[in-house]
Amino acid sequence: MSKLYEMCNDVYSADFLKEGEQMTEEEKKRLLDNMRNEGILVEDRKSRKRIGRAAGWIVVAAVFLLVIVPNISSEAAYAMEQIPILGNVIKAVTIRQYQYESERFSADIQEVKLEQDGETGDLKTDASLAVINESIEEMTDRLIDRFEEQVELGESYGGIYVDHKVITDTDTWFTLQVNVAEIAGSGTQYQYYYHIDKTTGEIACLKNLFKEGADFITPISENIKEQMRDRMTADESKVYWVDSAEETGFQFETIKEDQNFYLNDEGQIVICFDEYEVAPGYMGLVEFAVDEEAVAGIRR
């Protein structure tokens, strides 16, 4: 995008102003009407008086984007073709709900399936979704089987709850989060994350966000340790297994190469840890948004 911006700034403004002036009044009117119909140009009473003065500049901008830039050079035309306008539409649909309730046991398990919109789908994305759906089905069957074994044994108490949420859905990226909570004497929570890079249609993991061969584990891990220390300093009730001598003997050193993560609304990488993974159980599920400065030099 920055390359396209540089190419745009290389064009002398008088050239495309002239192109705009050469349009007939009828052509300008038709273009503005189309922009209103598409929602690109929205008028209200306060802005209507300004629309007339701005119309010329709107036309110029439209001509520049739609006519002039693609004809500057083959490089500019190719760059515009690479800008994603609308990514594949992926839907998360609940296809099975397993429920059980008794005095000592309970379950509510949702199985989700990912599907593409029929009009915008592609074969590569379909193949990736098939792999994810198979994984979710196997996981769901495994959890149900384990729960039913507990019920059959009839010992103690138990419960299992599974639901899902679409965390990220942009033109270029999709992330599904599956949440699992199991109760058997004590409780534990953990999550599964499934990512699709919409620009390639392929299943993605953490390393796909970085340049090939880059060491992303070290800077992310160090940034998380720094955040852990800051959080514990600010709030004495927060405890993380870093710089401590917990009885478990576990100390957080580095994230895993396939560590759970998602992208937040600002595009930051959020690293996710299951219960008991880096902190005592009462801390629950733990997340850290990685500072952009920590990975700026190695992000794709």
Q: Please report the DSSP string for 1-48 in residue order.
A: -HHHHHHHHTS-HHHHHHHHHTS-HHHHHHHHHHHHHTTSS---HHHH
Give the pLDDT confidence of 238-273 residue by residue, as tens digits.
999 998 765 556 789 999 999 999 999 999 999 999
Q: Provide φ and ψ at 152, rounded to 5°.
A: -65, -40
Domain boundary among 204, 233, 253: 204
| Residues 290, 217 share a domain | yes
Q: Which residue has the tokens 């349009």?
A: 23
| Residues 191, 94 share a domain | yes
| Residues 62, 15 share a domain | yes
| Residues 227, 148 share a domain | no
d(CA 189, CA 162): 10
| Residues 142, 242 share a domain | no
Say what the pTM is. 0.69
CB 287 within 8 A of CB 220: no
Token pair listed for 281: 């159980």
Which parts of the chain have pLDDT scores under 50?
Answer: 1-21, 38, 40-86
- Paired with 106 in beta bridges are 101, 159
Domain span including residue 140: 84-204
Q: Which residue has the tokens 């994350």?
A: 193
Domain boundary among 81, 103, 118: 81
**Residue 158: which CATH number?**
3.30.565.40
| pLDDT number for residue 154 | 87
Domain boundary among 146, 178, 204: 204
**Residue 270: which CATH number?**
3.90.640.20
Domain count, the chain: 3
Token pair listed for 193: 């994350």
| Helix%, strand%, coil% for the chain, nearest 5 | 40, 25, 30
DSSP state string for 159-204:
EEEEEEEEEEE-SSEEEEEEEEEEEESEEEEEEEEEEEETTTTEEE
Token pair listed for 109: 């398990």
Query: In 3-state terms, what secondary structure has residue 103?
Result: coil
| pLDDT number for residue 91 | 94
Give the pLDDT confidence of 118-141 residue by residue, as tens digits.
766 789 999 999 999 999 999 999
Token pair listed for 51: 């629309």
